[in-house]
């Protein structure tokens, strides 16, 4: 089991970061609000990393990533509420199941749609995202507790610094190990040239399905952490706009760059929430002017994302 030994430097760094955060939040040097968005940024990083696996590494364009994030959120909220889970230990299996649930849905939906190419895949994932949104809007018809368009309320708050931080770090390491293995290599082959990949014996449908369901699994975990951080879910948190947020983070950070996704996730959350603090309330909507301007400037300056200078 060389998992921890190989990653010792990253783990050491992570523990240091954790201790600093623990001290800062423990002594209440920063507001609760800052703590909340810090945890949220980990969730965003984890979920975006899932999309990076799908799109950045394997080249499968998805406009429906937030749907899988939403599935994870609703599954975990439903499970923990109906099972009466309120502690971290009891929550671990719920967390895992939420990831698996989102991954499984990704797998099933992936079988028909991953055959499609680029633009058709975009439409299909967009359609799926819309479908999930509609189902969530009407979820109270299946079970009152899901809340439908009024939102899912009263979810226990379980996500804390330890859970959000270490789950994210652990899954980043797992993802890194897959990326730097034959599977990650095959994903990149598929992205480069599907026919050539088949020509050397790669089962491309299987590799695409694997990347897609793994990416959805990460989104599901992210969603579950989100549900138990904010304790309230609304279908509008999981619509196409949210999918585009994740897409922007992947592109800004750099397609196929784990470190890039981490930076971009932090910057994204910092930027949006930071502007919320800086700008007066009546000018809050100006964020949606600044952000596109920032993105245009960035794409002109660094078309391959923050980290890489070239293709």
Partner 1 sequence: MKALAIEGLEKGFGGVRAVDGISFSVEEGETVGIIGPNGAGKTTVFNLITGFYRPDRGKILFYDKNIAHLPPHKLPRLGIARTFQNLRLFGKLTVFENVLSAVLVRGGYNLLSAVFRSTDYFVTESKAEEKARKLIEFFNLTGKEDQAAENLPYGEQRRLELARALALEPKLLLVDEPGAGMNPIEIQGLVQTMNEVKRRFSLTIVIIEHQMGLVMNISDKIVVMDFGEKIAEGTPEQVKKDKKVIEAYLGEEPL
Task: Please give the structure tokens belonging to residue 194.
Answer: 């599907």
Among 116, 185, 248, 279, binds partner 1 (CB under 8 A): 185
For partner 1, the binding residue among 196, 284, 289, 293 (CB under 8 A) is 196
Q: Alpha-carbon distance 97 to 91, whole Å?
A: 10
**Least spacing, CB of residue 81 vs partner 1, in Å:** 31
**What does the buried/exposed string (b/e) look like for 214-246 if buried means 16 or more CB atoms within 10 Å of the residue's CB?**
bbbbbbbbbbbbbbbbbeebbbebbbbebbebb
Is 31 or 181 the residue whose CB approaches partner 1 more closely? 181
Q: Is 278 in the site for partner 1 (CB under 8 A)?
A: no
**Residue 132 CB, nearest distance to partner 1 (Å)?**
27
Residue 97 C-beta: closest distance to partner 1, Å:
19
Residue 84 near partner 1 by CB under 8 A: no
Does position 2 interact with partner 1 (CB under 8 A)? The reply is yes
Collapsing DSSP to helix, strand or coil, 152 comes out as strand
Maximum Cα–Cα distance across the chain: 59
The candidate with the shortest Cα–Cα distance to 65, out of 33, 106, 37, is 106
Buried b (16+ CB within 10 A) or exposed e, 106-130: bbebbeebbeeeeeebbebbbebbe
**Contact status: 111 vs partner 1 (CB under 8 A):** no
SS3 260: helix
4-23 positions binding partner 1, by CB under 8 A: 6
192: contact with partner 1 by CB under 8 A: yes
Options 117, 181, 241, 274; binder of partner 1; rule CB under 8 A? 181
- Rounded to an integer, what distance in angstroms lies between the CA atom of residue 238 and that of residue 91? 22
Q: From 19-27, 141-149, 197-205, 215-223, give the range in contact with partner 1 by CB under 8 A.
A: 197-205
Site for partner 1 (CB under 8 A): which residue of 84, 87, 199, 280? Answer: 199
Q: Which of residues 115-174 bind partner 1 (CB under 8 A)?
A: 174
Nearer to partner 1, 164 or 173 (CB): 173
Shortest Å distance, C-beta 188 to partner 1: 6
How deeply is 178 buried, as exposed, middle or buried, from its count of CB atoms within 10 A (0-12, 13-18, 19+)?
middle
Residue 233: helix, strand or coil by DSSP? strand
Location of structure tokens 């968005």? 37
By the criterion CB under 8 A, which residues form the site for partner 1? Answer: 1-3, 6, 174, 177-178, 181-183, 185-186, 188-189, 192-193, 195-204, 311
């Amino acid at each position: 089991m060389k998992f921890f030994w190989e990653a010792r430097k990253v783990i050491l760094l992570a523990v240091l970061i954790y201790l600093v955060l623990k001290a800062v939040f423990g002594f209440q040097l920063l507001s609760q609000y800052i703590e909340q968005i810090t945890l949220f940024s980990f969730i965003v990083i984890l979920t975006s990393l899932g999309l990076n696996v799908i799109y950045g590494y394997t080249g499968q364009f998805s406009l429906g990533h937030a749907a899988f994030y939403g599935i994870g959120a609703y599954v975990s909220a439903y499970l923990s509420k109906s099972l009466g889970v309120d502690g971290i230990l009891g929550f671990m299996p719920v967390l895992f199941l939420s990831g698996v649930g989102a991954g499984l849905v990704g797998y099933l939906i992936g079988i028909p749609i991953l055959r499609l190419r680029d633009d058709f895949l975009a439409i299909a994932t967009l359609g799926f995202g819309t479908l999930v949104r509609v189902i969530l809007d009407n979820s109270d018809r299946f079970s009152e507790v899901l809340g439908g368009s009024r939102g899912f309320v009263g979810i226990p708050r379980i996500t804390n610094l330890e859970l959000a931080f270490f789950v994210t770090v652990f899954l980043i390491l797992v993802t890194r190990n897959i990326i730097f293995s034959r599977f990650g290599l095959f994903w990149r082959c598929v992205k480069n040239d599907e026919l050539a990949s088949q020509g050397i014996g790669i089962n491309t449908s299987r590799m695409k399905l694997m990347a897609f369901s793994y990416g959805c699994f990460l989104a599901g975990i992210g969603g579950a952490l989100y549900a138990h951080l904010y304790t309230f879910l609304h279908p509008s948190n999981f619509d196409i706009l949210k999918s585009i947020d994740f897409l922007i983070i992947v592109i800004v950070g750099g397609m196929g760059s784990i470190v890039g996704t981490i930076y971009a996730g932090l910057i994204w959350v910092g930027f949006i929430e930071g502007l919320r603090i800086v700008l007066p309330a009546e000018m809050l909507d100006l964020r949606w002017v600044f952000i596109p301007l920032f993105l245009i400037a960035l794409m002109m300056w660094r078309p391959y994302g923050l980290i890489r200078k070239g293709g």
